[in-house]
Amino acid sequence: MKNKVSVIGAGNVGATVAQYIAQDELADVVLVDIIDGLPQGKALDLLEASPVRGFDSIITGTNDYKDTAHSDIVVITSGLARKPNMSREDLLIKNTEIIKSVTEKVAKESPNSIIIMVTNPLDIMTYVCLKVSGFSPNKVLGMAGILDSARFRAFVARELNVSVADTHAIVLGGHGDLMVPLPRYCTVCGVPITELLSGKKIDEIVERTRKAGGEIVAHLKTGSAYYSPGACATEMVAAILKDKKRLIPCAAYLKGEYGLTDVYAGVPVILGAGGIEKIVEIKLTKEEKNALHSSAEIVKKNIKKITI
């Protein structure tokens, strides 16, 4: 039996996730949206591309959550997107209501699924999903650290004129302006970038990584990133479906790790068939730990602003 992945939200991010999953033949895909015709049209368009791209995954578009029943993984992308001068926190109240409704339907139809949250403000929406679904924390995770790390890696590769395949990075904390890139854990073929770049240049890359989402929004003006979030969500799907045991930074629910409790934050995890199979605690300097706690504190403050 083929794997089944449902993608909630047929906007740019959701459609891109569906495209990548289908092209990689990871699973059959159900694309869901409240707008009649939108998921059906995009699913049909993707299906008609399959003979050319050479994939046999089936893509179905629907407005009915019953079609998502028994999904192995559900990727949630629905919600309002950021607009220029809009912070992730500005999205808080409206997207909380959307995610509560979506999660209730997902949990009813696929009670054994693993949920990957993509909707912003991501750490808070993942927390909402956990509380509403009643799922185990290892089965509700957010696509945060992997995207922030990918952006960090891309900027480093371009600065050093090396392949992105040889770059590795870890970004911790909330998926926002207070995320915590860790330059000493960023390497090129095992060589720390602290040995390859000046402190000033590293600081510039760190700051650009923190503002990367906003930089894209400023260019697009009427939307936000979708190729890179889509790719990162798909990498998480692949790690779970293939039981890859990948060490990937994701938004995970912390229960004392890193000195944090009852909050989601981007941390390194082992990602496999069980979802988050282990949270990996790496050694942090006092400054790095303080930055992580400051980032998590912002998430906690925003959680207090919503009703779950």
CA atoms of 188 and 209, how far apart (whole Å) = 17
The edge-to-edge listing of strands for the beta sheet with 167-168 is 167-168, 187-188, 191-192
**Burial of residue 171 (number of CB atoms within 10 Å: 0-12, 13-18, 19+):** buried
> How many angstroms from the chain centroid is the CA of residue 98?
17
Please count the other Cβ atoms lying within 10 Å of the Cβ belonging to residue 252. Answer: 29
Q: Which of 70, 175, 219, 293 is catalytic?
A: 175
CA atoms of 183 and 18, how far apart (whole Å) = 33
CA atoms of 258 and 269, how far apart (whole Å) = 13
Active site residue 175: yes
CA atoms of 283 and 294, how far apart (whole Å) = 17
| DSSP-assigned letters across all residues of 12-67 | HHHHHHHHHHHHTT--EEEEE-SSTTHHHHHHHHHHHHHHHHT----EEEES-GGG
Alpha helices in the chain (DSSP H): 12-23, 38-53, 92-109, 122-133, 145-160, 199-210, 212-220, 227-241, 286-303
Of 136, 158, 172, 139, nearest to 248 by C-alpha is 172
Please count the other Cβ atoms lying within 10 Å of the Cβ belonging to residue 85. Answer: 9
Place of tokens 């040995």: 195
> Which sequence positions are flagged as catalytic?
175
